Structure 1
Amino acid sequence: MPRMIFVNLPVTDLERSVRFYEALGLRKEPKFSNDQAAMMVLSDTISVMLLSHGFYSNFTSRPIAEPRTTSQMLLCISCDSPDEVDRITEAAGRTGGTVDPATQGQREGAPMYGRLFEDPDGHQWEPMWMDPDFAAKGAHQTEAA
């Protein structure tokens, strides 16, 4: 059995979050969903678990971070094309997410293309496409910040 990953996100309005992620193309798995949690399937091996704050608190004694004012992670999702990056990002903007307009850059000829958006609770996502030939070359030098 392949190893799976479950991204657990605390949300303030479960139904709103389910609608948001369905609009992005994820599928709700009823078998693992109830009035406090929803399993949203991204792929055969990756699911996003949307958990009400009360339910999320059962798994940790740490306070829930405010995603609009802090950053603990950036959730990057691979896409098959720059058009898919735009489709997901635009769907996020139409269904209650916040799109970062500064990330809509050049597409033509660029080896990578990505954009940023926040879900309705402020969790940051980055749909990203990378040219397969560029990716095959491996790690690249980065410029100093």
Structure 2
Amino acid sequence: MPKMIFVNLPVTELSNSIAFYTAIGGSRNPQFSDDTAACMVLSESIHVMLLTHAKYSTFTTRPIANTHATSASLLALTFDSRDEVNATLDLAVAAGGLADPNPQQDLGFMFSRSVQDPDGHVWEIFWMDPTALATT
């Protein structure tokens, strides 16, 4: 069985977060979703668990970070082209995200932009030229 990742994120408004993650390509898995959590499937191996603060607090006694004020992590997600990066960012902004909280990067073989979700979690949306990877 291939390894999978489940990114657990505390959210304040579950419905807003579901809309945002749907906009960046996620689909909701009802098997792991209820009124306190939503499992958003980004690929066969990448899942984002959106957890209300009350639900998130059942997994840890540590305080929930204010990710609007501090950086708790940078999450990166690949796309197939520069155009898809830009289009996904536009969809994410339309769904309540904030465009480019970090500077856009264009290294020629790699292009990235970032988007902040409604709860302040930052995602790097990027494309890498697969032919450039083969030469390294």
Q: TM-score category by the smaller chain?
A: over 0.9
Do the aligned partners of 2:101 and 2:116 also contact (CA within 8 Å) in 1?
Answer: no
Query: Take 1:6 and 1:24, find their aligned partners in 2: how far apart are those partners?
Result: 16
Identity of aligned residues (%): 51
The unaligned stretches of length 5 or more in structure 2 are none
Query: Take 1:17 and 1:30, find their aligned partners in 2: how far apart are those partners?
Result: 15
- 1:137, distance to aligned residue in structure 2 (A): 3.4
**Cα deviations by residue, 1:99-120 (Å, 9 ceiling, x for unpaired):** 027744658xx11100011001
SS of alignment partner, residue 10 of structure 1: strand
Q: What is the identity, as a one-letter code, of the residue corresponding to 1:114?
A: S
Query: Take 2:113 and 2:80, find their aligned partners in 1: how far apart are those partners?
Result: 14
Aligned twin of 1:116: 114
Aligned twin of 1:9: 9
Q: What is the identity, as a one-letter code, of the residue corresponding to 1:52?
A: T
Change in 2 beyond 3 A, CA 1:59/1:101: closer
**Cα deviations by residue, 1:18-44 (Å, 9 ceiling, x for unpaired):** 111112220000111000000000000
Number of residue pairs aligned between Structure 1 and Structure 2: 136
Do the aligned partners of 2:106 and 2:112 also contact (CA within 8 Å) in 1?
Answer: no
Which residues of 2 match residues 44-63 of structure 1 at below 5 A?
A: 44-63=44-63
Aligned twin of 2:43: 43
Aligned twin of 1:125: 123
Query: Take 1:5 and 1:105, find their aligned partners in 2: how far apart are those partners?
Result: 26
- 1:3, distance to aligned residue in structure 2 (A): 1.0
SS of alignment partner, residue 19 of structure 1: helix
**Cα deviations by residue, 1:60-97 (Å, 9 ceiling, x for unpaired):** 11100000111121000011111111111111111111
Q: Which runs of 4+ in 1 moved over 3 A?
A: 101-107
Q: Which has the larger strand fraction?
A: 2
Query: Take 1:82 and 1:59, find their aligned partners in 2: how far apart are those partners?
Result: 37
The unaligned stretches of length 5 or more in structure 1 are 139-145
Over the aligned positions, Cα root-mean-square deviation in angstroms equals 1.6
Query: Take 1:45 and 1:24, find their aligned partners in 2: how far apart are those partners?
Result: 16
SS of alignment partner, residue 16 of structure 2: helix
Query: Take 1:53 and 1:101, find their aligned partners in 2: how far apart are those partners?
Result: 23
Computing the radius of gyration from Cα coordinates, the structure with the larger value is 1
Query: Take 1:87 and 1:133, find their aligned partners in 2: how far apart are those partners?
Result: 23
Query: Take 2:45 and 2:106, find their aligned partners in 1: how far apart are those partners?
Result: 31
